[in-house]
Amino acid sequence: MPDPTTSPVLEVSDLQVSVGDHLVAVHDVSFSIGRGESVGLVGESGSGKTLTCRAALGLLPKTGEVDHGRIVLGGTELTGATRRTWNDVRGTRLGAVFQDSASYLNPSLTVGHQLAEQLRVKRGLSRTDAHRRAVELFAEVGLHDPEGVFHQYPHELSGGMQQRVLIAIAVSCEPELLIADEATTALDVVIQAEILDLLDRLRESHGLSLLLVTHDLAVVAETCERILVMYAGEIVESGTTEEVLARPRHPYTQALMGVATIGTWERRALEIIPGQPPSVGEDMPGCRFAPRCRFATEVCTSGPVALADLGEGRAARCARIDDLEGAPA
């Protein structure tokens, strides 16, 4: 057994996921998440974020499959695990919350019943204990009148409240890792900020690790210690949030910063990233960002570009990383 206090909670290595007719959507993705760490996975929609975390949850859609790669959860090898193993792991060691919270709740059962049931089945609590614990958890995720909420049906709750219920269900079995995929995207900003604060608090009180998946760089900036930037199925940059945002090294990260930064509300010309990402499975010999990159030269497209270690926990996938050092973003 590896030492659980130092080994990462999740280790994904060389993960390749393809969808449909063998179209590669996630290319050799590797990352790890430490105990209690919060990591943000950011990228435009369609960049492969959701497939990556669905693979890590053993929840790929029917049309998707893991071609190769390893997934290790706190020392447990999940690569090629059976459906049964995945079912055991999910809800006990891995929790997940998604954007469309409503569709993960049974509309015909009270939310309290759904949480208590989970506690009974997965944690073996008695009916009375499960009820008591459910009310406690509802209070902990910031639901007012938790006893009242216990007896309500999903449709009686607002989107923000449903998301809190889902979070309560996800953390009810004390998972090691919580994966939140665009969990606050559909919520209004005030509620979004409350939910992000909540995730932060839970991380502390439950010793959770967090993988926050979002297209919104600003959300990650406020919540995560480390960032993984994904583009067209590849991780193109990683590092501590502070470092990456202060000095983005990959031209794509720089572009994302440009479109995401507000600074002032004054009228101005808005920045855009010209062009569109390549389509899924598009075969590109070199850098996948090249068609949209203003620094692209022949060296970028002549062959594969590796994710280079830049030291201090940073990495970037750019053939011109050294030339561009200090170039204006």
Partner 1 sequence: MTTTQERPDVDDGPEARVAPLLRVTDLSVSYVPPKKGTSLGTGAALTEASLEVRPGEIVGIVGETGSGKTTLARATVGLVRPVAGRIEFAGQDMGALRGRALREFRRSGQVQLVFQDPLRSLDPDLTVAALVREPLDIAGTLSRAERHERVVESLRLVGLDPDAMLDRRPRQLSGGQRQRVSLARAISTRPQLLFCDEPVSALDVSNRNLVLSLLDRLRRDLGLAVVIIAHDLRSLAGIADRVAVFYRSRVVEQGPIQAVLERPAHPYTGLLTASAPSVTHVDRLRPDQLRPDPEARSWPAHGVCVFAARCRFAHDACTDQPAPVRLADDREAACHVAGEWRALITDSKEAS
For residue 125 the two structure tokens come to 């609590």
- Cβ closest to partner 1, residue 109 vs residue 327: 327
For residue 160 the two structure tokens come to 């923000």
Q: Does 229 bind ligand SF4 (CB under 6 A)?
A: no
- Please pick, from the candidates 258, 310, 314, 324, the single residue that binds partner 1 as defined by CB under 8 A: 258
Q: Does 287 bind ligand SF4 (CB under 6 A)?
A: yes
Binding segment for partner 1 (CB under 8 A), chosen from 15-23, 31-39, 114-122, 261-269, is: 261-269
At residue 314, φ and ψ (nearest 5 deg) are -105, 150
- Please pick, from the candidates 142, 295, 310, 314, the single residue that binds ligand SF4 as defined by CB under 6 A: 295
At residue 149, φ and ψ (nearest 5 deg) are -60, -35
- How far, in Å, CA of 156 to CA of 153, rounded? 5
Query: To which H or E segment does residue 189 belong?
Result: helix 189-206
Could you please report the per-residue DSSP string of 31-93? EEE-TT-EEEEE--TTSSHHHHHHHHTT---TTEEEEEEEEEETTEE-TT--HHHHHHHBTTT
Binding segment for ligand SF4 (CB under 6 A), chosen from 43-51, 128-136, 170-178, 288-296, is: 288-296
> CA of 2: how far to CAs of 5, 11, 72, 75, 111, in Å?
9, 13, 12, 6, 38
Residue 194 binds which one of ligand SF4, partner 1, none, with CB within 5 to 8 A depending on kind? partner 1
286 near 302, Cβ under 8 Å? yes
Binding segment for ligand SF4 (CB under 6 A), chosen from 2-10, 12-20, 167-175, 294-302, is: 294-302
Neighbours of 72 (CB within 10 A): 18
For residue 119 the two structure tokens come to 């506690």
Give the nearest distance from C-beta 8 to partner 1 in angstroms: 27
The arrangement of strands across the sheet holding 314-316 comes to 94-98, 177-181, 209-214, 38-42, 226-231, 234-240, 314-316, 308-311
Binding segment for partner 1 (CB under 8 A), chosen from 9-17, 56-64, 212-220, 318-326, is: 212-220
For residue 15 the two structure tokens come to 């993960």
- Cβ closest to partner 1, residue 3 vs residue 325: 325
Residues 91-150 that bind partner 1 (CB under 8 A): none
10 Å CB burial of residue 41 (0-12, 13-18, 19+) is buried
Binding mask 232-251 for partner 1 (x = CB under 8 A): -------------x-----x
- How far, in Å, CA of 229 to CA of 299, rounded? 22
Give the nearest distance from C-beta 6 to ligand SF4 in angstroms: 34
Amino acid at 172: S
- Cβ closest to partner 1, residue 86 vs residue 295: 295
- Please pick, from the candidates 276, 285, 299, 309, the single residue that binds partner 1 as defined by CB under 8 A: 276
Residue 290 binds which one of ligand SF4, partner 1, none, with CB within 5 to 8 A depending on kind? ligand SF4
- Cβ closest to partner 1, residue 80 vs residue 274: 274
Give the nearest distance from C-beta 187 to ligand SF4 in angstroms: 22
Residue 65 binds which one of partner 1, ligand SF4, none, with CB within 5 to 8 A depending on kind? none
Q: Does 282 bind partner 1 (CB under 8 A)?
A: no
Residues that bind partner 1 (CB under 8 A): 44-45, 159, 188-194, 196-197, 215-219, 221-222, 245, 251, 254-274, 276, 292-295
Residues that bind ligand SF4 (CB under 6 A): 251, 287, 289-290, 293, 295-296, 300, 305, 318-320
